[in-house]
Amino acid sequence: MLYYSTRKKAPAASLSEAVTKGLAPDGGLYMPEQMGLLPEDFFKRMYSMDFQDIAFEVAMYFLGNDLPAGELKRMVYDTLDFPVPLVHIHDRLCTLELFHGPTMAFKDVGARFMARLLGYFTRCDHQELNVLVATSGDTGSAVANGFFQIPGIRVFVLYPRGLVSTVQEKQFTTLGGNITAISVEGTFDDCQTIVKQAFADEELNRHMKLTSANSINWARLLPQSFYYFWGVAQLGRDTGDIVCAVPSGNFGNICAGLIAKRLGLPVAHFIAATNINDIVPQYLKNGNFNPRPSVATIANAMDVGNPSNFARIIDLYHGSHENISRDISGFVSTDEQIRLTIKDVYTNHGYLLDPHGATGYRALKSCMDNHPSTSGFFIETAHPAKFTEIVESSINQEIALPPNLARFSNKISQIVEMPASFEAFKEFLI
Ligand SMILES: *Cc1c(COP(=O)(O)O)cnc(C)c1O
């Protein structure tokens, strides 16, 4: 299958070009040229299939002509070797827990799949690939763990010194091997600027093959569509209309859900749950898309002022605000509402939310209260223990660190320290 750029000013790209480039040369995002309905019988069989088999069928639709089926099957099965359970909270309101992977956030799915796909293409063309990633926390740990020990690929994680939580820092500084952690004396924006300069530097690009692992990459987005099918399959038949709420920042996760819907998945409506960085909820309300600098919140993985995957959503609906707002609505939560929700759901239903999941719960609950015949699930994007201080202070109780997070804490960090300077980074790489 070929991929076009959302800005329509770049030539069509093959899968391998689209995923090694990440961004199209015209600055647009790659989209697959075909997105029709999956066969009707798949939607009948789906309810008795397991997650990996469902994922493989969806993956075949997009990638079946680009990779040998056996290779693709191994990629999908390896990526999804952890459970993604649908957990019932109350009434017909459920959550799809996407935090059982190695770094306990949903980004594990995209990062692990992308690592395997890039590993395959790198094996085919025998040239070492260098992945650069700037992170404020979650992305760095998911990418580092996803790419750890993938042959032919080296990863450089740039993060702002002292501005990443201890748990998160341990997750990408203790791996060693093909993962190099670089602590930059500056902010997240400085890290991102250095990475962008690296991609633009001709000398550096002559020297080594560089690519990025951020969420605009099709290889990270595509596998996220798999779990929406699995969520619906676990919910079962005869559910009434299904509503799905997605805690959103760069809008990659919800975009993958909308792609699943386009393939025929019976979800009636999506809700984009955000913190007070409500650029997209505002757009859904009044049709005006006004990016602005992000504001810090306690759901910080969603502190985004210019959501990068929004261009894909616009493209999916040919720019029609009317059609977009038929399928998606927005729902905004303040820090205080997030804390109250964590406390309330824990006290009344015995379920512990993380701050991001809490925005999803609130959005879904409000919609289901207004539409009593619906069923629904929200995506729980991270394990609550990744945000210990916020969760503990919300419920006035200590929580345990799960083994997946604790296993990093005794390991020794290996960190390269660097000033916020592209020249220093370039010298280090060469
Ligand atoms: C990245 C992230 C999000 C936002 O996902 P997008 O795909 O950027 O919308 C939400 N919650 C957590 C925990 C995240 O790490």
Task: Identify whether the C-beta of residue 256 lies closer than 8 Å to the C-beta of residue 219.
Answer: no
- Residue 248 beta carbon below 6 angstroms from any ligand 1 atom: yes
- Residue 272 beta carbon below 6 angstroms from any ligand 1 atom: no
In this prediction, residue 188 carries a pLDDT of 83
- The residue whose CA is least distant from atom 2 of ligand 1 is 301
Residue 256 CA: nearest ligand 1 atom is 7
The tens-digit pLDDT sequence of the chain (430 residues) is 999 999 999 999 999 999 988 889 998 999 999 999 999 999 999 999 999 999 999 999 999 999 999 999 999 999 999 999 999 999 999 999 999 999 999 999 999 999 999 999 988 877 899 999 998 878 899 999 999 999 999 999 999 998 888 888 999 999 999 999 999 999 888 898 899 899 889 999 999 999 988 888 999 999 999 999 999 999 999 899 999 999 999 999 999 999 999 999 999 999 999 999 999 999 999 999 999 988 989 998 899 898 989 999 999 999 999 999 999 999 999 999 999 999 999 999 999 999 999 999 999 999 999 999 999 999 999 999 999 999 999 999 999 988 888 888 889 999 999 999 999 999 999 8
Do the bridges between strand 179-185 and strand 415-419 make them parallel or antiparallel, or are there none, so unpaired?
parallel
In this prediction, residue 17 carries a pLDDT of 93
Distances (CA, A) of 258 to 77, 113, 358, 380: 23, 19, 21, 17
In this prediction, residue 200 carries a pLDDT of 86
Six token digits for residue 39: 């066969």
Residues 84-103+221-399, CATH architecture: 3-Layer(aba) Sandwich (3.40)
Q: How far is the CA of 45 from the centre of ligand 1 (A)?
A: 30
Q: Give the closest residue to 357 by CA, choosing from 81, 52, 104, 51.
A: 104
In this prediction, residue 221 carries a pLDDT of 96
Residue 382 CA: nearest ligand 1 atom is 13
- Residue 252 beta carbon below 6 angstroms from any ligand 1 atom: yes
In this prediction, residue 265 carries a pLDDT of 98
Q: How far is the CA of 208 from the centre of ligand 1 (A)?
A: 30
Distances (CA, A) of 29 to 59, 174, 190, 251, 256: 19, 33, 23, 13, 14
Task: Identify whether the C-beta of residue 219 lies closer than 8 Å to the C-beta of residue 113.
Answer: yes
Q: Which residues pair with 97 in a beta bridge?
A: 380
Q: Spot the catalytic one: 8, 9, 73, 107.
A: 107
- Residue 375 beta carbon below 6 angstroms from any ligand 1 atom: no
- For residue 21, indicate whether it is catalytic: no
What residues does each domain of the chain span? 84-103+221-399
- Residue 270 beta carbon below 6 angstroms from any ligand 1 atom: no
CA 374 from centroid of its chain's CA atoms: 26
* Number of neighbours of residue 348 by Cβ within 10 angstroms: 10
